[in-house]
Structure 1
Amino acid sequence: MEKIAVINLSRDPLARTGLVHTLWSGWGTEVVEEADPAQADMIVLLAGVVTDEEITWLERVGRHPGRVRPVVLVADHITEEQVGRAVGCGLRGFLFRQSATPLRVGEVVDAVRRGEPDFPDALVVSLLRQIRAIRHTILEPIDHASQKLTTREVEVLKLIADGCNTKEVSDKLGYSERTIKGIIRGVVHRLRLRNRTHAVAFALRAGFI
């Protein structure tokens, strides 16, 4: 059974209690004592507005001899620079607290346990921007002739990259939500991508948005 340390660095003393109950009850995990994260296979960190002190804590605790211990962070806000640092010391999943329902937290933890990072689209875009800034001169060129996006597809993915949900994209472009979902599915299927996040990542890396 996977051992998880749930660390509460937020100002809400009840936040950890609810999350511990969620992870114990439905996701086949064992929650270890908060004071002993070294015994855990994964860390779930609760925070408000992420500070540099918390990132430094992650850099110290997230690393494990011989490997980096995966971390899921639930917070109100994190800067682009902090995201880059946190990924370097184990961050593999992130949830904004306003969307951190028990089910969604469990889904993110379960995905990270399976080795599948889970981030909001906006953070994926932030990470990719950093990667492009550092590695743009050595990234392999993409064959745009065989992997083009239409103007409508670019418009949809750009709004998703800006943090819009399906309804907001629908309202801004004047299409139905069903049409927006169809456009996203079409891109994912045609380019053999995994999901909408992967589609946004592709569009950014290829220079479409």
Structure 2
Amino acid sequence: MLEKRVTVTVHASDPLGRAGVVSHLQHQPSVEIVEDQGGATARERAEEGRGKDSGETVGTVAVTLVERFDELAAAELRRLIRGGDQRVVLIARDLREPELMTVVEYGVRAILWRHQATPQRLLRAVQSAARGEGHLPPDLISRLLTQVGQFRRSAMASTSVALVPTVGMAPREVDVLRLIADGLDTRQISEKLAYSERTVKNVLHALMTRLQLHNRAHAVAYALREGYI
């Protein structure tokens, strides 16, 4: 049985940076690198690669390398995500807290620090994004939680009213999000709660679909902002 591969497009304003990302991924048997085709949708790009003798392609991930998050970088992220059928992995040199919140709200699936983007870590991020899962460095999770907490305290101070959740969230959804906030992955969460990994994924998928959340980090940010965790 042929292995299903992830179709990947690589984006960077710096040709050397792009060449480095390509070199990290081009020899991975589970990845097929294709050129960005402008107006073509991610689904169309995946269909073009389907059926090649090296394996069937599945999903499309855009890996984009950003030296600094400015208006051009933001516009490129919006372009890549606009179709809704392409998952984005962002490799960044640095992100300030407001930029981090913007990236999460855009729907970026995975973030890697440039100095930590080894071939193995990049492959894991691409595979996580292709599965619809998030992938963030632990220090970014901590910064995201800190900023959301600050937003929440600021909102409470300005209204002088206790924050009340606006949309219901089931107890097991809260349990799963609390463990994600603690840095646990799907397998660890399933072990902790005595659920199957499929159940954990289904809980998250149902929650994010219902509340129109982009990824796990966005779900955690929502739960913190609404006072669930």
Determine which of 22, 25, 46 is the counterpart of 2:24: 22
The separation in 1 between residues aligned to 2:169 and 2:39, in whole angstroms, is 42
Aligned pair in 2 of structure 1 residues 137, 9: CA closer, same or farther (>3 Å)?
Answer: farther
1:125 to 142, 146, 150: 142
1:92 aligned to 2:109? yes
Match for residue 114 of structure 1?
131
Partner of 1:46: 65
Query: Unpaired segments of 5 or more residues in structure 2?
Result: 43-59, 157-162, 176-181, 198-215
The answer to whether 1:103 aligns with 2:120 is yes
Give the structure 2 partner of residue 137 of structure 1: 164
Is the CA contact (8 Å cut-off) linking 2:6 and 2:127 kept in structure 1?
Answer: no
What is the root-mean-square deviation of aligned Cα atoms in Å? 4.0
CA distance in 1, matches of 2:26, 2:128: 16
Q: Is the 8 A contact 2:9 2:34 kept in 1?
A: yes
> Residues of 2 paired with 1:19 and 1:141: CA distance?
39
Q: Distance in 2 between matches of 1:50 and 1:37?
A: 24
2:6 paired with 1:6: no
Write the distance in 1 (CA, Å) between the matches of 2:131 and 2:108.
Answer: 14
1:5/1:32 contact within 8 Å kept: yes
Structure 1 residues 90 and 38: alpha-carbon distance in aligned structure 2, compared to 1, 3 A threshold: farther
* Structure 1 residue aligned with 2:96: 79
Give me the whole-angstrom Cα distance separating, in 2, the residues matched to 1:117 and 1:16.
Answer: 22
8 A contact 1:63–1:90 mirrored in 2 = no
1:178 aligned residue: none
1:179 — aligned with what? none
Number of the residue aligned with 2:82: 63
Letter of the 1:36 partner, please give it.
Answer: G
Q: Residue 164 of structure 2 aligns to which amino acid in structure 1?
A: T
The residue type equivalent to 1:18 in the other structure is G
Structure 1 runs of 4+ with >4 Å offset:
139-143, 187-194
| Unaligned stretches of 5+ residues in structure 1 | 148-159, 162-184
How many angstroms does 1:52 deviate by? 3.1
Supply the distance in 1 between the matched residues of 2:80 and 2:169 (Cα, whole angstroms). Answer: 37
Tell me how far apart the structure 2 counterparts of residues 23 and 37 of structure 1 sit (CA, whole Å).
24
- SS of 2:110's partner is strand
TM-score by length of 1: 0.59
